[in-house]
Amino acid sequence: MKKNILTAIWFTLVTTVIFGVIYPLAVTAMAQLLFHDRANGQLLERNGKLVGSRMIGQAFTSPGYFHPRPSAAGTGYDATASGGSNLAPTNKNLIERVKGDVQKLHAENPNAAIPVDLVTTSGSGLDPDISPDAADFQIPRVAHSRNMKQEDVRALVQKHTKGRDLGFLGEPRVNVLELNLELDGFHNAH
């Protein structure tokens, strides 16, 4: 009996050290070595100031910026409350929110079809990307607000459009934060 207890204690200590200390340190070291930018949150800085992360969406509400997908994370883009709304398609609150978003978007661009990702939230509520169609939909508003040519804004959107990973995984996308930061740089330079 004493031998079994000592073996159990020894096994617990060894596995705790291996899986609770050595393994996490090894994985962290490999991530820092092989994927340093991603392991540190893909943070973006401008003029020595942290402005956000490529991996977490944030609210842009000014008409001179591209707007992200709606967020159901907390009060909006709250990383501590990440998650979708879990509202059923027949839920009255969801239907009213989507109707309101559709009305605002129709007022913004009455002759264009509204891309679905401009009225639906992502599963995390923190999606940093929009579809190229959602970016194209917003070009007239952004160009008008900044007194820019739509062609110049469209060129920036195309520059920031990423294709499918490995040519077949996921969907084409545009990172809203990166696009808006470049838009600020472009607009300030002209």
Q: Give the residue carrying structure tokens 């800085």.
A: 45
- d(C-alpha 161, C-alpha 135), whole Å: 9
- d(C-alpha 19, C-alpha 151), whole Å: 55
pLDDT per position as a tens digit, 20-56: 999 999 999 999 999 887 888 788 888 888 888 888 8
| 129 and 61 part of one domain | yes
- d(C-alpha 174, C-alpha 169), whole Å: 15
| 47 and 58 part of one domain | yes
**Long-range CB contacts (< 8 A, 24+ apart) of 114-118?**
117/69, 118/67, 118/69, 118/70
| 31 and 58 part of one domain | no
Q: Which of 170, 164, 167, 107 is nearest to 137 (CA)?
A: 107
pLDDT per position as a tens digit, 122-143: 888 888 999 999 999 999 999 9
**pLDDT value of position 22:** 95
Tokens standing for 159?
Answer: 């520059």
| 103 and 75 part of one domain | yes
Tally of domains within the chain: 2
| 78 and 29 part of one domain | no
Domain span at residue 144 reads 43-189
Q: Which amino acid is at 174?
A: V
Q: Is 6 exposed, middle or buried (0-12, 13-18, 19+ CB in 10 A)?
A: exposed
**pLDDT value of position 187:** 57
| 19 and 105 part of one domain | no
pLDDT per position as a tens digit, 79-110: 777 877 788 889 998 899 999 999 999 999 88
pTM of the model: 0.78
Count of CB atoms situated within 10 Å of the CB of 113 = 8
| 14 and 54 part of one domain | no
Q: What is the mean pLDDT of the chain?
A: 89
| 2 and 35 part of one domain | yes
Share of the chain above pLDDT 70, in %: 98
- d(C-alpha 83, C-alpha 122), whole Å: 8
